[in-house]
Amino acid sequence: MTTKKESDDDLELLFESILAKNTPEKSVDGSEIVACNMVGKEIADQDRMINQLGKITRTLHDTLRELGLNKQIERVTSSIPDARDRLNYVATLTQQAAERVLNATEAAQPLVQNLEIEALHLDAQWQKMFAGELSSDAFKSLIMRNKVFLQNIPNKTTMANGYLMEIMMAQDFQDLTGQVIKKIIDLTQNMEKQLLALLLEQAPVDVKAELDACLLNGPVINSNGRNVVTSQDEVDDLLGSLGF
């Protein structure tokens, strides 16, 4: 992943290259050495820019391949700043869902635990009763306690079901985040396609000829966008042939 400093350097390099192309060459005192140096610097800058673009494309391609994204690009849906906002949106929804689940779980646990404790205590008392170990007064107390326990069960189970429903509803974020992630994936795939097209456009003539020969019977990327590489393996071979 490129850092902000590296991205700024890339932009600066691109701007310098564009300015150099549109600035008339001037020699000092008629000397051709200065003009040659300027041409050499421009070529070197272009080479560095192309090399950096190649590295970016290779990183992006490898990431897509690791994610198993082998489908052809369908559409472009957003831009880089918007993608960053979308990822923040996904993170926010995920955090909110996690908090809802935790809160509901913490609220439901005491209800379930109290039911378990009371049920175990009543069971122990009934075991004593069947063993003939309870007095008449203790038996009456057990009957009343058992009645209260049964009366409270519907209310407590209703509350527990409400918390379970809250946990289930918290999962609805997956539908929204899934759509957002799909759009970001489309954007990323389109970036890979455009970077590959740029690299091919700037590739040396002999490399272009070799690529055309190798891909004669298959998909070809060209500057007019008439054909596209349709698999990640072909993209990998293409980057390898360009030296990245």
Q: What percent of the chain has pLDDT over 90?
A: 23
Q: Which residues contact 66 (CB under 8 A, 6 or more apart)?
A: none
The DSSP line for 2-25 is: --HHHHHHHHHHHHHHHHHHHS--
Q: Where are the beta strands (DSSP E) in 25-179?
A: none
Choose between 187 and 128: higher pLDDT: 128
At 110, is the pLDDT very low, low, confident or very high (cuts 50, 70, 90)? very high
pLDDT at 70 (0 to 100): 38
What pLDDT is recorded for position 158? 93
Other CB atoms closer than 10 Å to residue 43's CB: what's the count? 12
In the chain the first and final C-alpha atoms are separated, in Å, by: 16
Any residues with CB less than 8 A from the CB of 104 and at least 6 apart, and which? 163, 164, 166, 167, 170
Q: d(Cα 119, Cα 141) in Å, to the nearest integer?
A: 15
Q: Are 199 and 47 in contact (CB under 8 A)?
A: no
**pLDDT category, 26, cuts 50, 70, 90?**
very low
Q: For residue 203, what is the DSSP state?
A: S
Q: What is the torsion angle, in degrees rounded to the nearest 10, for the CA atoms of residue 102, residue 108, residue 109 and residue 113?
A: 180
pLDDT at 5 over 50: yes
Q: Could you tell me the sign of the dihedral formed by the alpha carbons of 228, 234, 236, 239, in that order?
A: negative
Longest dimension (CA), the chain: 123
Is the pLDDT at 121 greater than 90? The verdict is yes
pLDDT digits (tens, 9 = 90+) for 187-217: 777 777 776 766 666 666 666 666 555 554 4
What pLDDT is recorded for position 164? 92
pLDDT(63) > 80:
no
User: How large is the average pLDDT for residues 37-54?
Assistant: 66
Residue 204 one-letter amino acid: P
Return d(Cα 24, Cα 43) in angstroms, integer: 15
101, 109, 99, 102: which is closest to 156 by C-alpha?
109
- 54-79 mean pLDDT: 54
Is the pTM of the predicted complex or chain greater than 0.75? Answer: no
CA 194, distance to chain mean position in Å, is 20
CA-to-CA separations, 86 to 19, 64, 187, 191, in angstroms, rounded: 34, 19, 12, 17
- Lookup result for tokens 């069971």: 123
CB atoms within 10 A of CB 126: 14
**Do 200 and 175 meet the contact criterion of CB atoms below 8 Å apart?**
no
pLDDT in tens, 95-104: 888 899 999 9
Residue type, 189: Q
> Could you identify the residue written with the tokens 């980057």?
239
